[in-house]
Structure 1
Amino acid sequence: MQPPPPSLEMQILSEMEEVVFSASFPELEIIYVSPSVEMLSGYPIEFFKHELGAWRKMIHSDDLHIVEHALSSLKETNKFRIRYRIQTKDNQIKFVQSQGRLIRNESGEILRFDGVVTDISELLSVQDFIKNESTGIKQLLLENNILFNGSQDSMFLVEVMENRDFVIRRINTAYEKATGLTQSNIQGKTPIDLLGEPLGSSVIQNFRNALRAKTTISYEESIPMPAGTKIWTTALTPIEVDGKVKFIVGSSKDITEQKRIETALKESNERYALILEVSSDGWFDWDLVNDTVIYSRRWWLEFGNDEKSDNVPISYWKSLVHPDDSEWVSEFLENILSSQRETFEFSFQMKKRKGNYAHVVSRCYIQRDSSGKKIRMVGSNSDLTEIKKIESTLRKAKEMAEAANLAKGNFLANMSHEIRTPLNGIIGFTELLLHASLTDEQKEYLRSIYISGKSLLSLVNQILDFSKIDSGKMDLELISTDLIDLVQSTVDLFQISAASQAIHLKLKLDPELPRFVSLDPLRVRQVLSNLIGNAIKFTHEGKVEVSVKPIKQTGEIVDIEFSVSDTGIGIDISSQTKLFDSFSQADSSITRKYGGTGLGLTITSELIHKMDSHLRFESELGKGSKFYFVLSLQVNSSGSVSSNLFEEKQITPDETAIIENNQIQNDILIVEDNDLNKRLLSKMLLKRYPNIQLRYAVDGADAINQFKQKIPDLIFMDLQMPVMDGYTATMEIRNLEKDKDKKTPIIALTAGAFFSVKDTAMESGMNDFLTKPLSSADLYKTLEKWLSSGRM
């Protein structure tokens, strides 16, 4: 049985009458003394612990020499047993018997001095009784009485009568305390007299068993007594006088608490064993001294063999580790055992009984002896095979989702390119036709085509914005911006549209509004444009009001509320929950009546979320809506105005006459695989620059050959082409150029609209970037910019 926990030991020691002590030697400084010293001496226990030599003060002055002599010879005798008097705190004189011994280690060095002090004052009456007897008899009787009454075990003396009856003659003090019986009410009684027929007969049977055995017998019993029913372990010893057994000496030890602890421990072990049995864990106990391991039943069923699971060599466990893990596991354990760590865990593959390998995690604890030497390692193994399967499934699902998301992004990018390419022809040729001599009716038709193309381009841009937000590829660019100018110029863009519907568009700027703040002007304008455009679209009459005001300012950070309210159709409660869902509108009939992708508010909400805010709204069906959000912005002393940040794109076609420029007569190479785009670009260029020389290449490889034959003054380079793309062709051309200080300007042409496309083009060595559909104004401006500066 394992020793009881410290709390139980303290409880047992506190209930003992004997004083147990431990002291250093030869200093005799008290290391431990049991609580019973307070009852014996009257002094508090701290009196002996904190004052060196305090115990000497209570020894009677006439008996001090007895103690000193015993201590001085202790090193030779190794133990002593003496009797002397003490004087308690309240000046009572008590007789005590003290016995103790030196405790040594394996080398024979003295570790400490342990002993027991017993109060024998009650034996003075015996001493008085035998004071007239000889010294030898007195001493003998005294020692016998000390042994009988000084014992902590419950002792009793039974006389065996001639008729084989058993009569109880004496019990000791410990018996009286344990049972509640006294010497006077038990002396001279038989077991039947004392306990009644059933219990008494059982006790008598035990006495007869001792007589038959003619030696000491032991057994456990439980007998109800006045002090309560307890469990005892009893030893009976028959005593012969003149060849006949005349007495039986009994000694009973109260093991009630011990039994309780044993039962609790057994239940605990059974409970723990059941828990381990039903869990997926198996435990092991590795004896580090003998290099053997004991395994639990659960562990052995999973990883063991047909041999026993006790004292298995550690080499067996090592043989189970997967070859791929064997080397690092051995190195890991070696490092752990050479460190001071007590607990650790690690995961590896281990061979099961069936031959397959399982992923397991071992959780371990290292135990040390009193000198700090590692003596054992205990731990558990958990099978992670199913968890690993789930992880693998989740990982594959994640990879599939990422692949699907990537495919979606690529699809949208490709679709953007494919849609923009024909739009380039539609919008470009329409713009050229508008400069031709046409009737008013023809021009009206062309304007409708142009505006429809621009509307389609706007829808494509919205889908691309959604794709960039959805894939997390949209980043904000914070610029110190004139906030008042940004908001004013954004509202101005919608004045004509609002006026055409007889809607009053009003801007309300708070006078306390800071002028310059750090924000992404492009995205803030996009948000405001979406909200204002929606408000105008869904308002038949009344007004749309844009309001910007500061809410609070802390240091250089100001919270500013942007709101757009209208007197439009409003939103019913049932539709408000899906207002920000992708590709949806409050009502499907709205799409038919007002048009749109259903992405406007989704993109707006996500953009605002990117700015660490939330888009909120208030709406009532038939009375209008209010959309608002709050941005926390840094206040600055200066910033850029919108005219420096944006190139305002025309919604209506530019029908001003194209003025020819005969001064430009340069050699220009157009690298384009699409015939329609090639013809459009040629027409646009020759319309303004009739004296230029145009050459053509159908792909990047053809462009390099043309460059080798004759270096052009400027190159328009499409990016996506068969055989060789524009990026690769540009890098090859840059490698061919001998004069690195004078490079041919290369202008990128692309239907792609992602910022990453422009960045990649610039990194490959291109000088500028034009996005399809091409604007004639942008085209002319870019060409003249680079030709006027000559080669770089």
Structure 2
Amino acid sequence: MRPPPPSLEMQILSAMEEVIFSASYPELQILYISPSVETLTGYPIEYFTDHRDAWRELIHLDDRSIVELALTTLNIDGKIRVRYRILTKDKQTKFVQCQGRLIRNEAGEILRFDGVVADISELLSLQDVIKNESVEIKELLLENNILFNGSQDSMFLVEVMDNGEFVIRRINAAYEKSTGVTQSYIQGKTPIDLLGEKLGIPVIKNFQNALKAKTTISYEESLPMPAGTRIWTTALTPILVEEKFKFIVGASKDITEQKRAENALKESNERYALILEVSSDGWFDWDLVNDTVIYSRRWWLEFGNDEKPENVPISYWKSLIHPDDLDWVSEFLENIMLSQRETFEFSFQMKKRKGNFAHVLSRCYIQRDSSGNKIRMVGSNSDLTETKKIEYTLRKAKEMAEAANMAKGNFLANMSHEIRTPLNGIIGFTELLLHSSLSEEQKEYLRSIFLSGKSLLSLVNQILDFSKIDSGKMELEFISTDLNDLVQSTVDLFQISAASKAIPLNLHLDAQLPRFVSLDPLRLRQVLSNLIGNAIKFTHEGKVEVSVKPIKQNDNIIDIEFAVTDTGIGIDPNSQTKLFDSFSQADTSITRKYGGTGLGLTITSELVHKMNSHLRLESELGKGSTFSFVLSLQANTSGSVSSNLFEEKQTAPDESVIIENNLIQNDILIVEDNDLNKKLLSKMLLKRYPNIKLRYANDGADAVHQFQEKIPDLIFMDLQMPVMDGYTATIEIRKLEKGSNKKTPIVALTAGAFFSVKDTAMESGMNDFLTKPISAADLYSTLEKWISSSRV
């Protein structure tokens, strides 16, 4: 069966000598090519459609750059015309001409690249083709990609002829506008033709200097043009074509206004030079265009050398900057130049003529021409060396004060820890003794020891609070709280104390008070407790009154006044100023008579300040005092009562009989380096749980080792120990438990309670926290919380 005859269109394309093609753009993948390509190249159609770059491989190696250069104009002009050589399948060299254009849709989007390739081997010789195409294409590229790319500078293209002459070929629109010379007038002229010999010869000399330098050169010139005589700064760049400088690209910027500004500024400098000489350590004038500086006599005497202080390269000034300041000063000035700021100042170190460095304050002003271009920076210097010395002295004093304050805080923390450790033994063993069979007289003595220990513990806690406030570590925790219940329960704590002195303690709660407000209940109770406790302490007859009332309300924010009034000894007006100072009281005799650390009111005042208020005092010597403060609080519709917020601690010892629990027989590991604390904890535990098995570790490393030998049911872990502390030991134990579903409960033991000890313990992997001195009740409830009888 015969194949169908070719269509009329295919017959026509096959008969054409020219090769018709269609390619994608910008990939240049052949989509279609006419059969005549086989005649031209000797390769079948499939060779071009199946291999993406097959057409490139046919181009003669020496001509590939010409084709690539021509293709770059496609996106600019939308069409191409280029002549080059190809190598056929049988290694023949043919000269071809390719013409084509981009095909776009109605929206202007490029669809493809269509063209025609014709054999012109018989028309042109090799030399003429390559030479003419190279010049034509490169001229086109220079015009589109170098000279006429939207530059605001006046730009021109000069061709370097073989005989050494310079012919002007192109100028841009900015050149025409600024000079009044048109493209048609200037094209093809030499500098002599355009300017005459007197002005043209210097221009030619500049062109020759650019070729000799083989790189860009810059200079200033003044040329008469139809638009008037202007002053220019010109840059000439020689262009290399086929290893020979064939063109010079020029770019000129009109600096006429800049020059006028320079003259005006010099006149101004002369006028104000004397003023600057006496008002600073000298002035400078930095030409930003030429990067040269003029310095005043006084500046040069301080920082200069033996040369003249005029037209000094800016590099000299940079060489004087101290190495420690050079990088940031350079970056600072670079950012200033990119900004729109006109005035600024900065301080750095500069080397003086004598070799020493001085701290200098530079005050600067940036001047611009009419176009907004920065043309110069002027400024003055002031020597800050003496000021810096004073600053250094003050900074060192501040650092020493901060170091002393930190040392004080650490001392207080350590001392509090060291005091609480023996207190743990005193209070703990006293509590154990009170559970034993003793005479009433012996119990009375033990009660006194117990209460004395509690009193000492209260003083330690007060020191801790002061340390937290003093170091800024205390943070408030806002909770919606029943205000009436909080104040009432706080006052109730002091009713027995007031009754023991036969002093009425009255509370007045305004009926208009909101029930629930957002505040830190613990710290408000602490403030009220300090004020009420002081009022009872310093009152011998009369009464103490606590009042809480609203002052004003705005939406759900209400201002509430808290006041504590007594009829006690009062405070001398001369002593009131130092009443809130740390470790001080109104009269030194007060310490001897009433006791105390002198920290109570300091802590109270600081806590009120943390609540965005201040503590006010009204007092008259011998008649009494009133302490008050106002808090702005948010009213709420619900909240917690004090019984849910506070774990009320016993102020009297628990003398009830300890009931044994024989069901709990677990393995307990005690990690404690202090023998007294170890003994106390053992006695407390065995008193109630006689069947438990106790093991001991002297430090964290020993605890980890014992855990590896045998996993206990519960661990009591001290935090501060030698070799390895409790935090690290807990982390290591949790690593050993990784992958196991069973986690051994670890209860922290600490005498510190400073800053965020509890949070840190929990973060390390501990389950619970006991603070020394440890009460028997807290110990038993904690153990039974983590170990139930079901685990026997």
TMscore range, shorter length = 0.5 to 0.7
1:593–1:268 Cα change, 3 Å: same
Aligned counterparts, 1:346-361, within 5 A: 346-361=346-361
Once the two structures are aligned, what percentage of the paired residues are identical? Answer: 86
Letter aligned with residue 495 of structure 1 = Q
Tell me the TM-score normalised to structure 2 length: 0.64
Q: What is aligned with 2:284? A: 284
Separation in 2 of the partners of 1:424 and 1:721? 16
Structure 2 counterpart of 1:108, from 213, 220, 226: 226
1:619–1:340 Cα change, 3 Å: closer
SS of aligned partner of 1:497: helix
Decide whether the 8 Å contact of 2:360 with 2:382 is kept in 1: yes
Aligned counterparts, 1:6-405, within 5 A: 106-109=224-227, 272-323=272-323, 325-326=325-326, 329=329, 333=333, 341-370=341-370, 372=372, 374-405=374-405
Structure 1 segments (4+ residues) deviating >6 Å: 265-271
Letter aligned with residue 601 of structure 2 = L
1:790–1:385 Cα change, 3 Å: farther
Q: What is aligned with 1:623? A: 623
- Higher mean alpha-carbon deviation, 459-468 vs 712-721, is at 459-468
SS of aligned partner of 1:631: strand
Letter aligned with residue 490 of structure 1 = T
SS of aligned partner of 1:571: coil
1:421–1:296 Cα change, 3 Å: same
SS of aligned partner of 1:503: coil
Decide whether the 8 Å contact of 2:416 with 2:460 is kept in 1: yes
Q: What is aligned with 2:749? A: 749
Superposed CA deviations along residues 205-236 of structure 1, whole A, max 9, x for unmatched, are: xxxxxxxxxxxxxxxxxxxxxxxxxxxxxxxx
Superposed CA deviations along residues 568-608 of structure 1, whole A, max 9, x for unmatched, are: 22222222222212112222222111111111111111111
Decide whether the 8 Å contact of 1:704 with 1:732 is kept in 2: yes
Q: What is aligned with 1:682? A: 682
Tell me the TM-score normalised to structure 1 length: 0.64
SS of aligned partner of 2:613: coil
Aligned counterparts, 1:495-506, within 5 A: 495-506=495-506
Separation in 1 of the partners of 2:689 and 2:559? 52
1:583–1:334 Cα change, 3 Å: closer
SS of aligned partner of 2:787: helix
Decide whether the 8 Å contact of 1:416 with 1:753 is kept in 2: no
- Higher mean alpha-carbon deviation, 616-625 vs 740-749, is at 616-625
1:525 offset after TM fit, Å?
0.5
1:316 offset after TM fit, Å?
3.0
Is 1:701 aligned to residue 701 of structure 2? Answer: yes
1:635–1:305 Cα change, 3 Å: same
1:332–1:730 Cα change, 3 Å: closer
Q: What is aligned with 1:765? A: 765
Letter aligned with residue 412 of structure 2 = L
SS of aligned partner of 1:367: strand
Separation in 1 of the partners of 2:371 and 2:496? 92
Q: What is aligned with 2:256? A: none
Letter aligned with residue 488 of structure 1 = Q
Decide whether the 8 Å contact of 1:285 with 1:379 is kept in 2: yes
Give unmatched runs, 5+ long, in structure 1.
1-104, 112-264
SS of aligned partner of 1:499: helix
1:499 offset after TM fit, Å?
1.1
Q: What is aligned with 1:566? A: 566
Q: What is aligned with 2:144? A: none
Letter aligned with residue 559 of structure 1 = D
Separation in 2 of the partners of 1:500 and 1:326? 75
Separation in 2 of the partners of 1:521 and 1:472? 19
Give unmatched runs, 5+ long, in structure 2.
1-222, 230-264
1:456 offset after TM fit, Å?
0.5
SS of aligned partner of 1:715: strand
- Higher Rg: 1
Separation in 2 of the partners of 1:653 and 1:278? 81
Letter aligned with residue 637 of structure 1 = T
1:460–1:328 Cα change, 3 Å: closer
Is 1:632 aligned to residue 750 of structure 2? Answer: no
1:780–1:377 Cα change, 3 Å: same
Letter aligned with residue 537 of structure 1 = K
Letter aligned with residue 462 of structure 1 = Q
Aligned counterparts, 1:440-479, within 5 A: 440-479=440-479
Q: What is aligned with 1:482? A: 482
Separation in 1 of the partners of 2:498 and 2:621? 21
Q: What is aligned with 2:723? A: 723
Q: What is aligned with 2:513? A: 513
Decide whether the 8 Å contact of 1:423 with 1:457 is kept in 2: yes
1:409 offset after TM fit, Å?
1.0
1:371 offset after TM fit, Å?
5.1
1:358–1:730 Cα change, 3 Å: same
Aligned residue pair count: 535
1:294 offset after TM fit, Å?
2.0
Decide whether the 8 Å contact of 1:412 with 1:464 is kept in 2: yes
Separation in 2 of the partners of 1:378 and 1:704? 71
1:338–1:399 Cα change, 3 Å: closer
1:561 offset after TM fit, Å?
1.0
1:657 offset after TM fit, Å?
0.8
Separation in 2 of the partners of 1:736 and 1:683? 30
1:707 offset after TM fit, Å?
0.6
Q: What is aligned with 2:596? A: 596
1:546 offset after TM fit, Å?
1.1
Separation in 1 of the partners of 2:509 and 2:338? 73
Decide whether the 8 Å contact of 2:277 with 2:283 is kept in 1: no
SS of aligned partner of 2:408: helix
Separation in 1 of the partners of 2:357 and 2:503? 75
Superposed CA deviations along residues 316-370 of structure 1, whole A, max 9, x for unmatched, are: 3343334555566556656655665544444444322112333434333333444
Q: What is aligned with 1:536? A: 536
Q: What is aligned with 1:605? A: 605
Q: What is aligned with 1:691? A: 691
Is 1:672 aligned to residue 672 of structure 2? Answer: yes
Decide whether the 8 Å contact of 1:700 with 1:725 is kept in 2: yes
1:328–1:269 Cα change, 3 Å: closer
SS of aligned partner of 2:549: strand
Q: What is aligned with 2:527? A: 527
Separation in 1 of the partners of 2:646 and 2:728? 31
1:735 offset after TM fit, Å?
0.6
Decide whether the 8 Å contact of 1:276 with 1:298 is kept in 2: no
SS of aligned partner of 2:417: helix
